[in-house]
Amino acid sequence: MSNALPLGLAAALAAGPALAQPAQADTATQQTVVVTGERVGTLPWTSPATFNSVDGEQIRHGQMQINLGEGLGLVPGLIVRERGNYAQDLQISMRGFGARAPFGVRGLRLYVDGIPISSPDGQGQSAGFPLSAADRIDVIRGPFAALFGNASGGVIALTTAEGAAHGHEWRSGLALGEQGLWRASTQASGAMGSWHYLVDASAMATDGLRPQAEASRATGYAKLGTRWDGGKLTLLAMRQVSRAQDPLGLTRAEWDADPFQTTPVALSFNTRKWVQLNQGGAALQQQLGGGHALEAMAYAGTRTLTQYQAIPVGAQNAPGSGGGMFELDRNHHGANLRWVWHSQPWRVLAGVQQDDQREDRLGYNNYTGPASAPEQLGVQGLLRRDETNRAESTSPYAQFEWTADALTLAGGVRSTRVTLSSADRYIAPGNGDDSGRVRYSATQPTLGLRLALAPELQAFISAGRGLETPTLNEVAYRPDGTSGMNTDLRAATSTQVEAGLRGRGAWGAWSATAFHIRTTDEIAVATNRGGRATYQNAGATRRLGLELSGDGEWELDAAGGGTLQAAAALTWMRATYVDGFLTCTASPCATPNVPIAAGSTMPALPRLAGRLALTWQPQPMPGVSFTAELPFASAVWTDDRHSDHAAGYALINLSARFTQKVGAWTWRQFLRVDNLLDQRYAGSVIVNEGNGRFFETAPGRNFAVGIEASLRY
């Protein structure tokens, strides 16, 4: 683990034992982790928060480096489920937050080098992570994650590598999989005088697991920095272009008949998506003397999107419909300024963060000709929606940490205010003015205590309050069909408490954490009609869980010798609706009419999930390792009324990794087979899908190979 995360995040204390890493030496506990934005924290051993860090080497070597979940399977409490659909991104949840998202990521904060790739209203896209350039990925969950502000049920932050202090490094790799899947990347890094640089480019493409699932993505990332006495400047830039067809989900009948088919409406409407992202930022740190420092970050970017959906022609023709095809042109920017003071045993900071996005959204029919006899489907038709939406977030914050040998007391408070507004320019008979503005605010305090019970045993406890506002899409329309934004939809607030133990020894480290989360005003579907989904507050929910993790390394004396590394992560969670409510589970549905009983289990959340991994490095074969992984998850409900479920699974993944060093060159190769027993299972479910197309297919047995070369000079 490196000494610090770069400036810019908006953050919390860093804590929790890192998985798949040997125990830290005592001297390491004196290093500082800066979770950028609102820094205060030490390495996991002396912090009361729950934190895991996955090294970039672990993310890259032996992996396709395409999806975020490849390297994060051994983080407890985190579930990353691949949809097999690059048009809708991954389904990511952390202690239950984020599972309700039918597409993209909600309820979690995502960052790259301290710059948010989550919008102020809580939506994000994990495809924006440049995995080939990663130095590490940090995962924060629990009460301290709430210090990131709105929609921070958890935090995933990728930090890219920095150029070496001296010299240069070049690295390129190629990986090939089934269904025409390939990924290529190249990177150059190093130092020129007082400046260090990183330039990374990657691309991937696939024919798709099912028909209408082709996808491609190209990403470029650049990082330039310099240091001086007491100061540091970092400049960042990223560009990404992606194209993906959308195979949609499958109904139960379609799934049972053939899970590798595509529902016919995806083909007839030619469902697809195109996205272009540009983003840049700058971060500055300056020591002022006397333990004081100023840190500032600013960023700006654009995101354009075009998407064709499979909304039936009849629904698109409804007076209030927004059509079946839309275009989005978004501008976003933000800044974070803070003061930091450090004088043992205290570390204190205070600052303010501002994030703002503005988007112009146009909606069109996804067909031409009359609705009674469409001439062509899957093409841009008549205009049905024209509006400008804006999301703004302002958050002053303060944090502190007091650390002694056997005790750490840490806490903070963040005051979050989010404003969502819309200016509607498409006014027509049956489609009134949906303009409006709504504001949400909350104070989010967090407090934690760490106590050393023995030299190699720590106890910790923390509590905090979180906020998750509705997204712009969720407040766009009112359930009763009248004009205007849904200003009655309240933000969900959560109270989190966690307590745990962590230990370490010569063999490795372990952690056990119990948590309780009670959320009020949980957001749920209200109605589905005319191509519109509206939302309501479903009352209170409760999540009760236990996270266990550990890793170790042992020398083997048996024939072949070498070392054996073992790592495990296990999460048990019971997530239920405390209050009963009415909802719509089909489309069209103009009035909530299906009762959801109090005590019902929330959908898309397995009761049990985890991963086991064993890696053998044989002594006679230096640079060679063999790994067996067992990812598993129990069954999940597809919707609130429990009309169907996706079965649990337990898979076997095998891989072999090889490394050779020849002078200044390093060569690496990998072979892997995932789902060795060719189990058929749903990779994810689309929660509360109005047409019953809940199931998204996971790959069967599949093979992949890769090679990478690097040169230092």
pLDDT band at 559 (very low <50, low <70, confident <90, very high): low
Q: How far apart are CA 2 and CA 22, in angstroms?
A: 14
Instruction: Give 176's pLDDT tier (boundaries 50, 70, 90).
Output: very high
* Average pLDDT of the chain, as a whole number: 89
Report the predicted TM-score, pTM, of the whole model to 2 decimal places.
0.92
Instruction: Write out pLDDT tens, residues 451-461.
Output: 999 999 999 99
Contacts of 403 (CB under 8 A, 6+ apart): 42, 46, 344, 345, 347
Q: What are phi and psi of 537, to 5 degrees?
A: -95, 125
pLDDT band, very low/low/confident/very high, at 703 (cuts 50, 70, 90)? very high
Q: What is the largest CA-CA distance in the chain?
A: 81
| pLDDT value at residue 593 | 87
Q: What is the pLDDT of residue 529?
A: 72
pLDDT above 70 for 352? yes
**More confident call, 318 vs 666:** 666
| pLDDT computed for residue 166 by the predictor | 67
Q: Does 29 have pLDDT greater than 60? A: no
Residue 620: what pLDDT? 84
Mean pLDDT, range 615-634, rounded to an integer = 94
Q: Can you give the pLDDT at residue 532?
A: 78
Structure confidence at residue 13 (pLDDT):
28
pLDDT band per the 50, 70, 90 thresholds, residue 38: very low
User: Does residue 523 surpass a pLDDT of 50?
Assistant: yes
Lowest-confidence region among 8-12, 88-92, 110-114, 193-197: 8-12
Residue 383: C-alpha distances to residues 234, 323, 532, 658 (Å): 44, 8, 16, 56
Q: Which of 158-172, 513-527, 675-689 has the lowest mean pLDDT?
A: 158-172
Dump pLDDT digits (tens) for 376-385: 999 999 999 9
Binning pLDDT at 50, 70 and 90, where does residue 526 land? confident
Beta bridge partners of 581: 596
The torsion defined by the Cα of 248, 250, 251 and 257, in degrees rounded to 10, comes to: 150
The predicted structure's pLDDT at residue 165: 64
At 482-520, the pLDDT tens digits run 888 999 999 999 999 999 999 999 889 999 999 999 999
307-326 tens-digit pLDDT: 999 999 988 888 888 899 99
pLDDT digits (tens, 9 = 90+) for 570-585: 999 999 999 999 988 7
Which contacts (CB < 8 Å, 24+ apart) does range 361-364 have?
A: 361/326, 361/327, 361/328, 361/385, 361/386, 361/387, 361/388, 361/389, 362/326, 362/327, 362/386, 363/322, 363/323, 363/325, 363/326, 363/426, 364/323, 364/324, 364/325, 364/326, 364/327
Average pLDDT over residues 215-231: 95
Q: How many whole angstroms separate alpha carbon 218 and alpha carbon 66?
A: 11
Pairing of strands 682-685, 695-697: antiparallel
Highest mean pLDDT out of 7-21, 51-65, 235-249: 235-249
Q: Which domains does the chain have, with CATH numbers?
A: 26-162+197-712 (2.40.170.20)
Please tell me the distance from the alpha carbon of residue 209 to that of residue 247, in angstroms, as a whole number.
Answer: 9
Task: Identify the helix (H) or strand (E) that includes residue 676.
Answer: none
pLDDT at 39 over 70: no
pLDDT of 19 > 50? The answer is: no
Q: Is the pLDDT of residue 102 over 90?
A: no
Within 10 Å of residue 582's Cβ, how many Cβ atoms? 14
pLDDT for 30 equals 28
pLDDT at residue 101, as a whole number: 81
pLDDT higher than 50, residue 197: yes
